[in-house]
Amino acid sequence: MKREAYVDNAKVVLIFLVVFGHLIQPLKQEIEAVDAMYQWIFLFHMPAFILVSGFFAKGIGDTDYIKKIAKRILVPYMIFQVLYSGYYMMIGKNDWQSSFFDPNWGLWFLLSLFSWHMLLIGFKRLTPITGIALAFGIGLLVGYLP
């Protein structure tokens, strides 16, 4: 598949917004405009990352799809989860608990990305209107929508 410059540029902008959002986070309590900017950034940057990631999901109906996604996403997740866990044990963080379902640092995105790919398998079988209705219904249930 040929690389598309607009997708690469979108990723750069989204990565910048993640870093910038975390940089301004300490100031959001003190400056109202910074709080508004922070809320605006966090309103869309992760859904946009999910959209960009799902845009390149190919072969959802293939029998090897789950194996391929597990190899590309879960294997690196597990490797780095073990490395982080080992690091925390080496520095003597006895109160720290390790679990494969409690990701360290930014690894939450890999575990979530795998879960979203698995959801794509189910959503692919739905009609578009049913999928949209289900997404909004779940959003209302968990409180993300007004």
| CA atoms lying within 13 Å on the CB side of residue 70 | 5
As a whole-number percent, the residues of the chain with pLDDT over 90 amount to 24
Strand partners, 99: 102
pTM of this prediction? Answer: 0.70
* Mean pLDDT, range 55-79, rounded to an integer: 85
* Mean pLDDT, range 51-64, rounded to an integer: 77
**Every domain of the chain and the residues it spans:** 1-56, 59-146
Residue 13: the pLDDT is 92
Residue 54: the pLDDT is 74
Taking the CB of residue 104, how many other CB atoms lie within 10 A of it? 18
- Has residue 20 got a pLDDT over 90? yes
Cα–Cα distance, 64 to 70 (Å, whole number): 10
Strand partners, 102: 99
Q: How confident is the model at residue 63 (pLDDT cuts 50, 70, 90)?
A: confident
- Report the mean per-residue pLDDT for the chain: 84
Cα–Cα distance, 36 to 31 (Å, whole number): 9
pLDDT in tens, 82-103: 888 888 888 887 655 667 778 8
Residue 7: the pLDDT is 83
